[in-house]
Amino acid sequence: MAQDYTEWLAINVLNEQQLVSYRSLSRALKVHSNLAKQMLYDFHRNQNAKKPGTVHATYLITGVKQTERPATNGMHSQRDGEDTVMQSSPLLPSSSALKPDEHDDEEPNAVQTVMLVKQESLDLAKAKFESITGLHIYSLQAKGLGDIQSLTECNRKIAVDYASEDPMEVWKQYGTIQNPNVKRRTQRRQPPPPPAPVAKAAVAKAKPPVPTAKPTTLKKEASKDSEEAKPASNTCAKATTEPAKKPPTNKRQSSDIFKSFAKGKAKAKTEQESQESAGSTPKPAPDDEPIAGFSDEEDADEGDAAVIEEAPKVVNGKSKKEREAELQAMMEQDDEVMEDAAGAEPESAEADVDEGAIDKPETQAEEPKETVQIENGRRRGRRRVMKKKTVKDEDGYLVTKEEATWESFSEDEPAPKRIKVPPTTSMSKSTTAAAGKKGARPGGGNIMSFFSKK
């Protein structure tokens, strides 16, 4: 054991030039604090014997200082010669309080002092004490200590490094005063977890409970898509660190901004909508602004060393963060990536649709369900819409009929353009269905075909 601490101290104090207090040593080596103090002393003495001045120390002195004039004495000098002031006469007729002058003559209150002092000033400090009850080394460092306040660094590091230890079990070995009556309740939720990795895991769990208003398939698809979206967002380093670090206030701000841009129908999740429409609107030009806004806020927030991770408590907040991640990811990805992602999806949808078309005349096409998928920050899905179809009759008359058709929509453009996907509903009549199918499908269901045409 003797060797352990010498080694450990040699590494940390001399090699790594760190500030080591007796508390850090006791936690690192799992020893009693008093033992750690002795270890520090031993190391200090040995090192300075070999080569003086290699290791500097700070000491903690406890004792009774030489009494300076007690504070209450100051009152006397102020009041000399003034007789209008009430101190000498009882303020209240029934007052029985000891007057200050009498009070001083009786026992002055015992004042103990606990003083932290650098080794250079140790003798000076000791001279100030009338009697010393205790003296020990508080910390060691390789060079002289510039700012004594930097000793707070030790305790802060302890708090961070050993946060996972349960105080009730582990602190006994450090010599902390034990209290058998401590009442502590186990929490259902953990106190704020360390950022990023844990937060991400929590997000996945938090996501499924959030969309309560939607049908079950929607939820499954949503969570599935969120999983897909996550790898995409993970590629963006900024995106990953941002959502974890941003306090909930940022989300509120961003949603405030984006709510003004939000168009489109209010669906079940209005929050999501604002997020998605935020994705849709500021694509090229205002794109810079939100990013700039984010980065400003991120800088400002990164200044706070420890941001309380309120996230686990706010389940909605988690999903918002996650959506924010997607938003960010979407903003930063190139158009090609989006194209691919966009291309992948409609193609699969198209494949489904083609099969449906083949089977359609014979079989009762199953009712396509109204689905909304979230992918890459865009809302896509199928919904049922009343459309007017104008058809030339046998007699040459133009007949306008209203019918319900299914279409897939995507909200990543300012005006949600409706992509005409051939409807497979059983409600459409055969004639109009055929006509509708031909007219409604430009370029094979690919969203990008819109742009290629024009």
Partner 1 sequence: MNGDNHADLLQPPSNVEHAVSERTASHYTPLPTYRLPKGEHRHYQQQYADMYFARLAQLKPAVEQIASEAWADFEIGGETASRKDRVLDVREGELCWIAGTLYMEMPLKPNVLEDIGKEHWIAAPPPRVKYDTGGGLGGDSERGAHAGGGKGLAGAQIMLEDESGRLRLTGGYLSGGLLVTGAIVAVMGTENSDGDFEVLDLRVPDLPRQPSRWETEDGEAALQGKSVTTKRPISGKVAIISGLGVSGVEGDTLLLDLLLEYLLGESADPASQEQAASISRLIIAGNSLSHSSPIPSREELAAAAKKGGRKTYGYDSASYNAAPTDHLDQWLATLLPSIPITLLPGEQDPTSTSLPQQPIHAAMFPHSRAYMNPPTGPEGPGWFDSTTNPAEFSADGWRFLGTGGQPVDDVYKYLPDCEERLEMMEAMLRWRLTAPTAPTAPDTLWCYPFQDGDQFVMKECPHVFLVGNQPKFETAVVEGPLGQQVRVLAVPRFKETGELVLLDCETLVPEVVRFEVFDEG
Instruction: Please list every residue from 175 through 234 that binds partner 1, using CB under 8 A.
Output: 175-187, 191-192
Q: Considering only residues 37-76, where is the footprint of partner 1 by CB under 8 A? A: 37-39, 41-42, 45, 60, 62-63, 71-72, 75
Q: How far is the CB of 293 from partner 1 (least distance, A)?
A: 11
Q: Does 292 bind partner 1 (CB under 8 A)?
A: no
Q: How far is the CB of 140 from partner 1 (least distance, A)?
A: 13
Q: Which of 196, 352, 325 is nearest to 251 (CA)?
A: 325
Which of residues 13, 28, 117, 311 is near partner 1 by CB under 8 A?
A: 117
Q: Does 140 bind partner 1 (CB under 8 A)?
A: no
Q: How far is the CB of 240 from partner 1 (least distance, A)?
A: 21
DSSP secondary structure letter of residue 71: T
Half-sphere exposure for 327 (CA within 13 Å, toward CB): 29
Q: How far is the CB of 436 from partner 1 (least distance, A)?
A: 51
Task: Give 266-303 as a DSSP string.
Answer: --S-HHHHHHHHHHHTTSSGGGHHHHHHHHHHHHHHHT
Which of residues 137, 206, 353, 372 is near partner 1 by CB under 8 A?
A: 137
Q: Does 293 bind partner 1 (CB under 8 A)?
A: no
Q: How far is the CB of 160 from partner 1 (least distance, A)?
A: 10
* Secondary structure of residue 406 in the 3-state scheme: strand
Number of residues that bind partner 1 (CB under 8 A): 102
Q: How far is the CB of 7 from partner 1 (least distance, A)?
A: 14
Greatest C-alpha distance within the chain: 122
Task: Determine the Cα–Cα distance for residues 193 and 201; give it in Å rounded to an integer.
Answer: 11
Q: Considering only residues 87-116, where is the footprint of partner 1 by CB under 8 A? A: 87, 89, 91-98, 100, 103, 109-116
Q: Considering only residues 247-276, where is the footprint of partner 1 by CB under 8 A? A: 247, 249-250, 252-253
R_g of the chain computed on alpha carbons: 37
Q: Which of 263, 256, 232 is nearest to 376 (CA)?
A: 232
Beta carbons within 10 angstroms of residue 349's beta carbon: 18
Q: Considering only residues 21-40, where is the footprint of partner 1 by CB under 8 A? A: 22-23, 26, 32-35, 37-39
Q: Considering only residues 393-432, where is the footprint of partner 1 by CB under 8 A? A: none
Is residue 129 within 8 A of residue 99, CB to CB? The reply is: no
DSSP secondary structure letter of residue 107: P
